[in-house]
Amino acid sequence: MLKIKCPWCGERDQSEFSYGGEAHIVRPAEPDELGDEQWGDYLFFRTNTKGLHREQWVHSGGCRRWFNAVRDTVSYRFHGVYRHGEEGPGKDEPGSPS
Amino acid sequence: MSRYSIFSLARNALSYHENWGRAWRSPAPSREYDVVIVGAGGHGLATAYYLAREHNAGRIAVLEKGWLGGGNTGRNTTIVRSNYLWDEAALLYEKSLKLWEGLSQDLNYNVMFSQRGVMNLGHNLQDLRDIYRRCSANRLNGIDAEFLTPEDIKRKVPIMDTSPHTRYPVLGASFQPRGGVARHDAVAWGFARAADRLGVDIIQNCEVTGILREAGRVKGVQTSRGTILAPKVGVVVAGHCGVLAEMAGFRLPVESHPLQAFVSEPIKPVLHTVIMSNAVHGYVSQSDKGELVIGAGIDSYTGYGQRGSFNTIEGNVAAIVALFPMFSRVRMMRQWGGIVDTCPDACPIISKTPVEGLYFNCGWGTGGFKATPGSGWVFAHTIARDEPHALNAAFTIDRFHTGALIDEHGAAGVAH
């Protein structure tokens, strides 16, 4: 089982957490302006990164707060966690938000 | 290469089975082919086989970065069925099931397809309504489906706990008698041998590292064993489809997740059909060797690691033990994970792509094994004719932009 470091509660077992998918996907500011192509991209298309991946987790069996993490999708190793609104580790590393 | 038959068996017995020929060649890659298939799993090999047999597609190569059948083809729980809800999916999987029924004869290779039936359990009223609906939809599509009461289930599977006092009581089930299991390795080997006999080059340890394009058309692939030119390239790489799509410059609506399974020590025959439950989240069958073959849902996080987390296994085991209390003392022998390519609507993509001459077959998620022959059949047609077969016309990448999704989460989301 993975150990995940909640930014508020510290390190806990993975079974306390739920996965929330890719991070930094921003809801379109002008939904009415969007065509089918852009809506499809927003709803269904993901980077599916092999390597360092920025993603969301929620401490559902604990403080119930959301946070972001950088995780290697091959080794599953966590490279850091950060709260929403924070910049996060390794801004210039691969997998950093574009 | 000789045909396998009772006579070849007798002939080889005379020399103590030491002189069987190789099942397939191991050729060096040529510089150029008419069609290159990337990925020598079941689907890729089936595609090559049907390209050669049905479409006379010229020189065909199948490239594999590891060894053939070493990915999800050898990492699943071997369940075959076609009881899907929507017409598009049901007809595609039913085509596959029909091919399964003649596959050992077609390939001259025993894939040990055993139609022992597949039972999908319901544990609450909504489950039952969904099961009735799915059974009715299946029958309208000419697919065998029966509704079973708890008494019917108990008669068929005496070891299951069908008492009304459990946390999730068994209230009924759908049953597809023509469903069953097959030997997964044999499927890859059988297709490989049959394709090889038709002149297909199967090239193992040959990783594709780039997709060559010119003016929106595919020109070939770069590999760890040099450049291979081809006017048509079909990609069937399951969990790594996103990596290959990136090489070709587009994205897919697919996320890769670990999916785990495990088998027990061999025990005497106790379970003669396949049992699946979406609600308590697990499925189990017993192999011909006597091992219980057990699986469940994906690990929630994305991953390429061919392994998952222990708490997923724990949940799976809890579900199986709740249904079959006698299994609580069975020891598990092996455990493994595969990387499954999941689509938002739990249906595959078998499609042309933005790059001309480049075709993708992916997104099978947790349930691709059952589709192996049918997937190869329609993908071969799509590549040879440069247009989809009627059975895969709906399974385009475009559907995620047009909104014409085929939502099979009910029939496919968990149970495979």
- Strand pairing report for A3-6 and B208-214: unpaired
Give pLDDT tens digits for B55-93.
999 999 999 999 999 999 999 999 999 999 999 999 999
Best residue of A44, A53, A57, A58 to probe chain B, by most B CBs closer than 10 Å = A44
How far apart, in Å, are the Cα atoms of B141 and each of B92, B115, B322?
11, 19, 34
Banded pLDDT at B365 (limits 50, 70, 90):
very high
Give pLDDT tens digits for B12-37.
999 999 999 999 999 999 999 999 99
What pLDDT is attached to residue B415?
45
- Does B256 contact chain A (CB < 8 Å)? yes
Banded pLDDT at B413 (limits 50, 70, 90):
very low
* Chain A / chain B CB contacts < 8 angstroms: 67
One-letter amino acid of A91: K
Query: What is the ipTM for the molecules in this complex?
Result: 0.92
3-class SS of residue B145? coil
Distance CA A46, CA A39 (A): 13
**pTM for the full model?**
0.95
The contacts of residue B252 (CB under 8 Å, 6+ apart) are A45, A48, B241, B242, B245, B349, B360, B362, B363, B397
- Does B303 contact chain A (CB < 8 Å)? yes
Give pLDDT tens digits for B192-225.
999 999 999 999 999 999 999 999 999 999 999 9
Distance CA B71, CA B368 (A): 12
B414, pLDDT greater than 80: no
What pLDDT is attached to residue A85?
87
Banded pLDDT at B408 (limits 50, 70, 90):
confident
Nearest C-alpha of chain B: how many angstroms from A86? 22
- The sign one gets for the Cα dihedral B34, B40, B44, B45 is positive
Contact between chains at A15 and B242 (C-beta distance less than 8 A): no
Give pLDDT tens digits for A13-40.
999 999 999 999 999 999 999 999 999 9
Segment A88-97 shows an average pLDDT of 59
Banded pLDDT at B297 (limits 50, 70, 90):
confident
Tokens of B409: 């989460």
Q: Does domain A3-82 have CATH number 3.40.30.10?
A: no
Contact between chains at A76 and B311 (C-beta distance less than 8 A): no
A97, pLDDT greater than 60: no
Best residue of A16, A36, A50 to probe chain B, by most B CBs closer than 10 Å = A50
What pLDDT is attached to residue B399?
96
Helix axis angle for B184-197 and B372-385, nearest 10°, is 30
- The sign one gets for the Cα dihedral B266, B267, B273, B277 is negative
- Strand pairing report for B60-63 and B35-38: parallel
Lowest mean pLDDT among A85-89, B125-129, B180-184: A85-89
- Could you state, in order of their start, the residue ranges of all structural domains in chain A? 3-82
What pLDDT is attached to residue A93?
57
Tokens of B36: 């290159």
Q: Which chain A residues in 14-33 lie under 8 Å from chain B, judged by CB atoms? A: 14-15, 18-19
Segment B236-244 shows an average pLDDT of 96
One-letter amino acid of A17: F
Residue B181 β-bridge partners: B79, B114
DSSP string, B49-105: HHHHHHS--SSEEEE-SS-TT-SGGGSS--EE----SSHHHHHHHHHHHHHHHTHHH
Query: Using an 8 Å Cβ cutoff, are B200 and B61 in contact?
Result: yes
Tokens of B14: 């005379």
Give pLDDT tens digits for B260-279.
999 999 999 999 999 999 88
Closest CA to B82 of B139, B24, B18: B139
Nearest C-alpha of chain A: how many angstroms from B241? 10
Segment B116-128 shows an average pLDDT of 95
Closest CA to B37 of B237, B302, B313, B189: B237
Tally: H helices and E strands in chain B: 12, 19
Computed over every residue of chain B, the mean pLDDT equals: 95
3-class SS of residue B327? helix
Largest Cα separation within chain A, whole Å, is: 44
A92, pLDDT greater than 70: no
A86, pLDDT greater than 90: no
Where do we find the tokens 């990609």? B235
Structure letter (DSSP) for residue B270:
-
Tokens of B391: 């059975």
One-letter amino acid of B370: K
What pLDDT is attached to residue B337?
95
Taking the CA atoms of residue B201, residue B207, residue B210 and residue B211 in that order, the dihedral angle to the nearest 10 degrees is: 30
Closest CA to A46 of B251, B248, B403, B402: B251
Distance CA B353, CA B406 (A): 19
- Does B209 contact chain A (CB < 8 Å)? no
Where do we find the tokens 């065509």? A35
